[in-house]
Amino acid sequence: MKSLQFNPLKTPLSAFIIATTVSITSAAIAHDAETNINSDKKSAAEYWADFKQDSKQSWKDSKAAFKDGWIESKLETALVLNKHLDALDIDINVDNNVATLGGEVNTDIEKELAENIALGIEGIDLVKNNIKVTSKPTTAGAQSVSSNHRSFSQYVDDVSTTAAIKTELLASKNVEGLEINVDTYKDVVTLSGKVHTGAQKDLAQAIAAKQDDVKNVVNKLVIKS
């Protein structure tokens, strides 16, 4: 098959004019389209200013925003993976190394657990815990747990173990869970506080010892005289 070729020397003048006009018109349209796109596009500075205003954050630049977003994603993942929490009910926001927690949980223990998990995230120096407890407030020796000298996964395991033990102590009819402090460090549980009888002391130790991953229980409970 012979290909058709445009030769202005053998082509009628009218056809040549039409072809030239189409070419010029197409180029003009393409130029206008590019001009319109560029005129509608915000500059980086304009986009960043609008983004900060819409998000109501105090970031200095996009690098700071990315850092906070990365830390927030790590915190969200840690909460989602924790079997003692329903992360869908917890709102999180990270701004300038400060994590703010909101939403609702069922117990003070869950509220404390969420805060401790947030404190274990590298890049978070302070936690504002605004989580609301929807059921009757209860505590079982609530205390902030340091994550020093532990990997993050070990830290989360420890605070989760503490939460599980506190929950079971509070649920036991034979143990005054409100007077028992629980601390877990590298799978070693320490119980402190006061109980009424030796049987209660032994029961508290048994509850702690049966939890998954608990290697040892240090029982410092004192029997009230």
Which tens digits make up the pLDDT trace of 60-107? 555 665 677 788 888 888 888 888 888 788 999 988 889 999 999 888
Can you give the pLDDT at residue 71? 82
Cα torsion 21, 22, 25, 26 to 10°: value is: -150
Alpha carbon of 53 to those of 56, 59, 83, 210: distances in Å? 5, 10, 36, 52
pLDDT score of 138: 47
Closest CA to 198 of 174, 178, 215, 214: 174
pLDDT higher than 80, residue 144: no
Model-wide pTM > 0.85: no
Which residues, other chains included, contact 100 with Cβ-Cβ below 8 Å and sequence gap of 6+? 92, 93, 94, 127, 128, 130
**141-225 has the same fold as 56-138:** yes
Provide the CATH topology of domain 141-225.
Histidine-containing Protein; Chain: A; (3.30.1340)
By the 10 Å C-beta count (0-12 exposed, 13-18 middle, 19+ buried), 103 is classed as middle
Amino acid at 66: F
Query: Which residues 6+ apart lie within 8 Å of 173 measured at CB?
Result: none
Domain boundaries, the chain: 56-138, 141-225
Residue 154: both structure tokens together? 């070990």
The CATH fold of domain 56-138: Histidine-containing Protein; Chain: A; (3.30.1340)
Report the C-alpha dihedral over residues 128, 129, 131, 132, rounded to 10 degrees: -110
The confidence band for 42, taking pLDDT boundaries of 50, 70 and 90, is: low
Q: How confident is the model at residue 28 (pLDDT cuts 50, 70, 90)?
A: low
